[in-house]
Structure 1
Amino acid sequence: MHEKQGTLVEWLAPLAFCIVSGWLVWHAPAYILDFGPENGQLAAQLARTDVTPNLSPIFAFADIVDYAALILCPLLFILGVMTVRRASMEYEHWNGFDRISVFLGRITMILILILTSVMIFEVMMRYVFERPTLWANELSLWLAGFVFLLAGLYSMQQRGHIRIFLLYDICPRWLQRLFDVISTGLIVLFAFFLIYGAYGEAFQKFMRWETFGTAFDPPIPATLKIMVLLVVTLVALQAVVNLFADWNEEPVIHTAADDIDEGELERLRAAVGDDGTADLDVTRSAAQERDTR
């Protein structure tokens, strides 16, 4: 896999996907009403939240902008998956499924930028202009939920999740592979039972488009319940992909040196010099000289 070249499309694709998928989520009641059963309460809710109420619907509720977003969303996702590149600090070995996880990781980065912007805007409106918004707090919670879930998938792909290596490192490679199979099996088993037990409730909340019950009233329960099941499924698939991808890899011995930031060490060496006599001299003799002045 080629390293990331910093092309503009690598960041425009996830940004455009976030905008289009945001439109899809906000207007999801229109799609539910077009393809699902009649629901007067949901129709009234759509009438309150519709961004383009003056556009004529194509069928019953969703208009041309809604269906354009519905078509663009998978196209932007495919474009993003095809154009994503590995950054220099990311895990080196990729396959086709890893592209999906890394692109979702890029989307997570965009969501963090949007979340930060919302919080800064709210602070400014609240403490500078003394006109706090009714939507910033709930929108921050909503975005943070998506960030939390998608970051877990990205962490799994990068092998950055928490692992305890005390026993693992001292075992032979065949036993390490057995541990990997067991841990992956447990992840898949957990995902299966979570989906089996929570699908019914999540689907019901989605179909009635359950909201948060505040002034802004975002559909946090309707979206995050489904998102949890989707991301857990992707995490389980990524765990299986990792198992096969790492099967023939050489065993990695973990030491205390793994926690050392090489970049920080290089900056310290540049600051103090190899012999400790640079501008930021931190040797004992330097400290004594400063004390005598």
Structure 2
Amino acid sequence: MSIKQPVSQNHTFEDEQPKNKLDAAIISAGNWLSLLFIFTVLISFYEVVMRYVFNSPTIWVHETASFIGGSLFVIGGLYAFAANKHVRVVLIYDVVSERTRHYLNLVHHIIGIIFSALMAYGAYTLAENAWFSPSGELRLNTSGSAWNPPFPALLKAIIFVAFCILTIQFLLHLIAEIKVLRKHSHV
């Protein structure tokens, strides 16, 4: 018995193809980075065995697994946008004409550029504070645990870079949408 997923009448195979080289690179990197979820499961299993079988818990597994998972979820946002798998209000999107969809995409991309650029700025200030002391000297914020890794500073840098990339993604998608609209207006 198979369960069929509802498919939009306007859904095409092209919707799942990367729209540019950046999207293709993000999808490729994301596919490889997703293997880190397996690593996270393995080290978590190791922790359970060490704690409950050998009564020798680790000090590094929980923070490492949290850091990897958090980093992958941040990168997952880039992946979802690159693969056109992001959340969309199809109630409206699927009932309008193709031309109207292109205009809705324009609005989406412009708002996305503004949002992601502002978030990149906010992430920059957080990352800067996590990486540098008030005097400007390099010092990474750490977790404050017994192990004390610099994961908080590293995650803030990943968030900053991700929002910078997302801003570029939105810009590239906006340019592509404008080209499509221009092509349709000359036909």
Which residue among 102, 127, 137 is the counterpart of 2:52? 127
- Pair 1:138-2:69 in alignment: no
Structure 1 match to 2:155? 224
Counterpart among 101, 112, 115 of residue 190 in structure 1: 115
Is 1:213 the equivalent of 2:144? yes
For residue 113 of structure 1, the aligned residue among 33, 38, 45 is 38
Question: What TM-score does the superposition give when structure 2 sets the normalisation length?
Answer: 0.76
Stretches (4+) displaced over 4 A: 243-249
Instruction: Kindly indicate whether the alpha-carbon contact (under 8 Å) linking 1:212 and 1:218 is maintained by their aligned counterparts in 2.
Output: yes
Which deviations, in whole Å up to 9, do the C-alpha atoms of 1:181-227 show, x marking residues without a partner?
A: 11111111011112223423311212320000001111122111111
Shift in CA distance, 198/95, structure 1 to aligned 2, threshold 3 Å: closer
2:47–2:57 CA contact under 8 A, matched in 1: yes
Amino acid at match of 1:226: A
Displacement after TM superposition at 1:94 (Å)? 5.1
Change (3 A) 1:138 1:93: closer
Would the alpha carbon gap of residues 171 and 91 (structure 1) be closer, same or farther in structure 2, given more than 3 Å must change? Answer: closer
Asked if 1 retains the 8 angstrom alpha-carbon contact of 2:24 and 2:82, the reply is no
Find the counterpart in structure 1 of residue 166 from structure 2: 235
Uncovered stretches (5+) of structure 1, i.e. residues with no partner: 1-89, 250-293
One-letter code aligned to 2:165: L
The answer for unaligned runs of 5 or more in structure 2 is 1-14, 133-138, 182-187
Match of 2:127? 202
**Residue 152, structure 1, aligned to residue 42, structure 2:** no
Which residue in 2 is equivalent to 1:91? 16
Are the equivalent residues in 1 in contact too, given 2:110–2:174 (CA < 8 A)? Answer: no
Following the alignment from structure 2 to structure 1, what is the Cα–Cα distance between the partners of residues 118 and 19?
29
Q: RCO (CA 8 Å, sep 6+): is it higher in 1 or 2?
A: 2
Q: TM-score, normalised by structure 1?
A: 0.50
Q: Is the 8 A contact 2:30 2:76 kept in 1?
A: yes
Q: C-alpha offsets along residues 233-257 of structure 1, whole Å, 9 cap, x if unaligned?
A: 21232233344556649xxxxxxxx
Which residue is 2:185 aligned to? none
Indicate if the aligned counterparts of 2:33 and 2:72 stay in contact, CA closer than 8 A. yes
Residues in 2 aligned to 1:98 and 1:177: alpha-carbon distance in whole angstroms: 19
> Percent same amino acid at aligned positions?
28
Which has more radius of gyration?
1
RMSD (Å) for aligned C-alpha atoms: 2.2
